[in-house]
Structure 1
Amino acid sequence: MSSSESFKGWCALGPDAVEGKLVWQDVPAKKFTETDLELDVLACGICASDIHTMRSGWGPTEYPTVVGHEIVGKITKVGSDVKDGYKVGDIVGIGAQCDSCEQCEQCKKESNSYCDGMVGTYSGKFKDGSGRSMGGYASKWRGPATLAIPIPDGLDLSVAAPLLCGGATAYSPLRDYGCGQENGKRVAIVGVGGIGAFGLNWAKALGADEIVAISTTASKKDLAMQLGATDFLAMKDDPEGHKKYRRHFDIILNTAADENMDFDKFVFMLRPRGHLINIAVPEKPCKPVPIGALLFSGANIGGSAIAGRAQLREMLDLAVSAKPNFMIEKRKMSEANEAVKDMVAGKPRFRYTLMAEGQ
């Protein structure tokens, strides 16, 4: 293949890719169209979605594939029909979604993540038939300019990258359900992992009155307090501890992909009309929603998917001004296999970003 038809990327050839068996090889690039951008990848976060996809955890994956949807890159080519004023040399971000229809009500409100015509940044098919989307564990990325986001000055690229999916996934529901508004709000974050770390930081940056980190054991208590928690609840170590928070929270953000989640306990930790918002997708079917508990708690269970353009811009600006402590570790792009294995083993505290040579 010529350079115009391919680029180098870490290819998953089967589910064993998560065992350190990604292969650095030529990857077919989509046909460049005049609404596209081409980027040199400078940084790409490792997201749990990457792991689920590589091992076919959410259903069969079409191999070979290149994952990575938390991409920061330098523009090397701009299509003539790109309307956002981008130019060669600009630094932009591409999150989990790279295209949407731009015509529906959701898109017109910049809630693009709920567009029925959304295209994923990897494992998607471009609506114009120009190819299959490949992600950012690679030397380059090519795709629509539709949802590219300028990276503001003053934001470290290793931080900017994982914000584009993981950070946005935690930020959006906190904003949607009023964190920091109406007397601040009482917030709980379930799961002190990659996205939980973002949730704790954002709740603090948005001005929540109270931020309780909820985990199974107390092993991450000190880290949770560093991330912004004002209190900590270990559900397994303290089985009755949840009673302290009966009808207490306005928002509970569930970042844990746990199919055995005890929803009945959590809904009674909410004030009437409070919200339990789920942002992680387990690989196995979940326990049934407790309808009786919902009725008598007066609470709501819902979900939230990534973020639209408006919230992405707002979130990046807040990251610059508030300077949250996200605890992000740089890893070399050339060491992607080792980083993926460490991710599967649960080693990051709390996120990894793959960095291109020289970054």
Structure 2
Amino acid sequence: MSSPSSPPAKTFQGWVAHDATSPLTFTTFSPKPFTDIDVEIAVSHCGICGTDIHTLRSGWAPTDYPCVVGHEIVGTVERVGSGVATLASSTESRKIRVGDRVGIGAQSMSCLRPDCEACADSQESYCPRMTGTYNGRYSDKSKSYGGFATHWRGPAHFVFRIPDALPSAEAAPLLCGGVTVFAPLHKYGAGPGKTVGIVGIGGLGHMGILFARALGADRVVAISRSSSKRTDALQGLGADAFIATDEDKGWGRQHSRSLDIIISTVSGPGMPFGTYLRLLKRNGTFVQVGAPEDALPPLKAFSLIQNGVKVTGSNIGSPDDIRAMLQLAAEKRVLPWIQKRPMADINAALVDMHAGKARFRYVLQNGDAQAKL
């Protein structure tokens, strides 16, 4: 472990993308300059998120190569900036110290200005000056780099202590995928007396079922195109019902006006958007969290008008959302279904992830295989 008084490292080692088509290469890169509000961690685990694949191939927009992705990071603090203890967010329960086990999600900075409506409301993930954990730029124009690496460095405001009850590998996917579904479930009241539908039973969707149950929803309905994940959803994850939209005839009519909230983790031109809205009760809410590269299908006005439903979206959660989610996950033992892969196996793991082989989330771990490189 490096001493807090020793000079910060000028370079880190990680799995670097240099373009949209070549495999990642294990090499050095230059992290942001270490400042008094930063921390530095030794990465032990990092989940693979769909965002990683979109970014690596410049799917949403041109990526700022070279790039190190990975924003479901867990590791041990090795360095703490001199100003971290005096940050406004550093109450005793939130203080970060050398040796702490911590996590970082998809955001590593926002403007944090009192005149910023989002930051002032503790909704930093909606700040117009948000910096992503990777493929972003800080105010000094230095690049942000992610967790497919041996170390990570960034602002302490977006670093979170991991509760003792959560294993590191299982905690990693919670930091992006978990909070992405937890935040809208919590915001729109997915608790006792409410019925919840989760569209897409994959990396995000399976955590949506787990959190809807943990929040106390009366009924959770898993929705997928085929029945291939029916057993997982009902017997493993705890859903109360399952709808296979490509197989169950008349499912829109049969389940009409039965759900208060729908969380959609998927999208595509053929998505039965209007029929999903038919499942909502009066004044129900449809929340889109999945962000594929293609557009949502068209929607007829009467799908909204006839039942007064709301269609909205939700970004990654705020720091307060992440803390609340971690606390609930620790109390209720919300553990994502993961498969561990060596960090050195990253290129093969990305191929498998893109092919839909994960059940339901891959988590990379540093260890002997990495040390030999």
Same fold, TM exceeding 0.5? yes
2:245 to 232, 235, 238: 235
Verify: 1:71 aligned to 2:83, yes or no: no
The answer to whether the Cα contact below 8 Å between 1:100 and 1:146 also exists between their aligned partners in 2 is no
* Number of positions where the alignment pairs a residue of Structure 1 with one of Structure 2: 352
Map 1:7-156 → 2, pairs under 5 A: 7-17=12-22, 21-82=23-84, 83=87, 84=90, 85-103=95-113, 104-129=116-141, 131-156=142-167
Q: Mean alpha-carbon deviation: is it higher for 286-295 or for 306-315? A: 286-295
Query: How big is the shift at 1:117?
Result: 1.6
* Cα distance in 1 for residues equivalent to 2:230 and 2:215: 21
Paired residue for 1:221? Answer: 230
The answer to whether the Cα contact below 8 Å between 1:270 and 1:299 also exists between their aligned partners in 2 is yes
1:200 to 206, 209, 215: 209
Query: How big is the shift at 1:3?
Result: 7.7
- Deviation track 1:122-161 (CA, whole Å, cap 9, x = no partner) reads 00000133x1001000001111112111111121000111
- Deviation track 1:49-97 (CA, whole Å, cap 9, x = no partner) reads 0011111111111211110011112111111111333221111111000
Verify: 1:187 aligned to 2:199, yes or no: no
Query: How big is the shift at 1:227?
Result: 1.0
Paired residue for 2:4? Answer: none
* Cα distance in 2 for residues equivalent to 1:330 and 1:241: 36
TM-score w.r.t. structure 1 length? 0.95
Change (3 A) 1:10 1:3: farther
Q: Mean alpha-carbon deviation: is it higher for 168-177 or for 24-33? A: 24-33
1:340 to 339, 347, 350: 350
The answer to whether the Cα contact below 8 Å between 2:137 and 2:143 also exists between their aligned partners in 1 is yes
The answer to whether the Cα contact below 8 Å between 1:227 and 1:326 also exists between their aligned partners in 2 is no
User: Which secondary structure does the structure 1 equivalent of 2:339 belong to?
Assistant: strand
Q: Which runs of 5+ in 2 are unaligned?
A: 1-6
* Cα distance in 2 for residues equivalent to 1:314 and 1:285: 32
* Cα distance in 2 for residues equivalent to 1:56 and 1:36: 28
User: Which secondary structure does the structure 2 equivalent of 1:122 belong to?
Assistant: coil
* Cα distance in 1 for residues equivalent to 2:273 and 2:267: 13
Query: How big is the shift at 1:325?
Result: 4.5
* Cα distance in 2 for residues equivalent to 1:211 and 1:147: 31
Query: How big is the shift at 1:286?
Result: 2.2
Q: Percent identity?
A: 44
The answer to whether the Cα contact below 8 Å between 1:263 and 1:290 also exists between their aligned partners in 2 is no
Q: Which aligned segments of 4 or more residues in structure 1 are displaced greater than 4 angstroms?
A: none
User: Which secondary structure does the structure 2 equivalent of 1:353 belong to?
Assistant: strand
